[in-house]
């Protein structure tokens, strides 16, 4: 039998997830909406083309940046630190919680479900409602209001794009998003393995992962194309500034 207090807590959490917009977390997301209206930002990927020199330039110019996942592995090489940190992978957050807690980002955006269902509490986190259900999607699978939900599709980068637009950024630049891995699943469902391809900016980036990862590039590419179709209906522009990239959904600069 479930303890009455635990039962009440579970019901409260379920209610809050269903009515996220009206929670303290949803109110915070509304509060920060358009606080960077018409500004520019960079979304940093962890591909092998990412360099410490590029990050130094962003740091010296004081440009706002979003970073994800194991970006902390490049910290010993640079003074740069992200303005925002985003992680939607519960297993990754759990396994690297100490490092994530120590990231000195202005805001860490983390799914509320991680806290409620898995008991993962991130230091300094601001929580959003993670939507994985396609029937709840807004146009092109892109959330128009992050105080309601952030849609999860293929890659954490797309969550960053939604959050950047929510904050009001109008010119969004992608850096270090190579969109290529040594093991991929194509749009045709074909598995391609190329050991010569480097996955990340540093060797041993994901050496703590025991399971072999195959990246579904077909699904991710479709998600990026949906984003492009959506942003083309707005005054927001997304550019791909990655040094080496196979992502063609956005204009390169």
Q: Which pLDDT value is given to residue 6? A: 46
Q: Give the pair of three-digit tokens for residue 139.
A: 């146009």
Q: How many domains does the chain have?
A: 1
Instruction: Supply the pTM of this predicted model.
Output: 0.88
Residue from 42, 91, 45, 84 nearest 63 by CA: 42
The residues, ordered by sequence, that sit 6+ positions from 244 with a Cβ below 8 Å of its Cβ are 47, 48, 49, 178
Q: Give the pair of three-digit tokens for residue 72.
A: 């902390």
Q: Give me the CATH number covering residue 218.
A: 3.90.1480
Could you list the pLDDT tens digit for every one of the 253 residues in the chain? 555 544 444 555 565 667 798 899 999 999 999 999 999 999 999 999 999 999 999 999 999 999 999 999 999 999 999 999 999 999 999 999 999 999 999 999 999 998 888 888 999 999 999 998 765 556 667 888 999 999 998 899 999 999 999 999 999 999 999 988 777 777 777 777 777 777 777 877 776 665 555 677 788 888 999 999 999 999 999 999 999 898 999 999 9
State which residues form the domain around 74.
4-252
Residue from 22, 61, 64, 60 nearest 42 by CA: 64
Q: Which pLDDT value is given to residue 136? A: 54
The residues, ordered by sequence, that sit 6+ positions from 211 with a Cβ below 8 Å of its Cβ are none
Q: Which pLDDT value is given to residue 243? A: 92
The residues, ordered by sequence, that sit 6+ positions from 153 with a Cβ below 8 Å of its Cβ are 141, 219, 223, 226
């Amino acid at each position: 039998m479930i303890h009455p207090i635990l039962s009440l807590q579970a019901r409260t959490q379920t209610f809050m997830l269903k009515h996220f917009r009206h929670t303290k977390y949803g109110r915070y997301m509304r509060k920060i909406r358009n606080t960077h209206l018409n500004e520019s930002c960079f979304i940093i990927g962890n591909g092998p083309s990412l360099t410490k020199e590029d990050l130094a330039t962003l740091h010296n110019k004081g440009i706002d940046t979003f970073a994800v996942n194991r970006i902390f592995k490049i910290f010993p090489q640079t003074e740069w630190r992200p303005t925002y940190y985003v992680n939607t992978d519960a297993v990754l957050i759990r396994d690297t919680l100490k490092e994530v807690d120590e990231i000195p980002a202005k805001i860490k955006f983390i799914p509320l479900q991680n806290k409620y269902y898995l008991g993962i509490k991130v230091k300094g986190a601001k929580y959003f409602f993670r939507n994985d259900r396609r029937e709840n999607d807004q146009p092109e699978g892109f959330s128009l209001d992050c105080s309601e939900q952030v849609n999860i599709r293929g890659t954490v980068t797309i969550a960053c794009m939604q959050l950047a637009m929510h904050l009001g950024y109008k010119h969004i630049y992608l850096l270090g998003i190579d969109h290529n891995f040594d093991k991929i699943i194509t749009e045709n469902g074909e598995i391609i393995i190329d050991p010569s391809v480097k996955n990340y900016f540093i060797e041993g980036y994901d050496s703590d992962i025991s399971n072999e990862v195959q990246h579904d590039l077909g699904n991710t590419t479709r998600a990026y194309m949906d984003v492009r179709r959506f942003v083309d209906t707005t005054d927001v522009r997304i550019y791909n500034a990655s040094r080496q990239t196979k992502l063609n959904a956005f204009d390169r600069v």
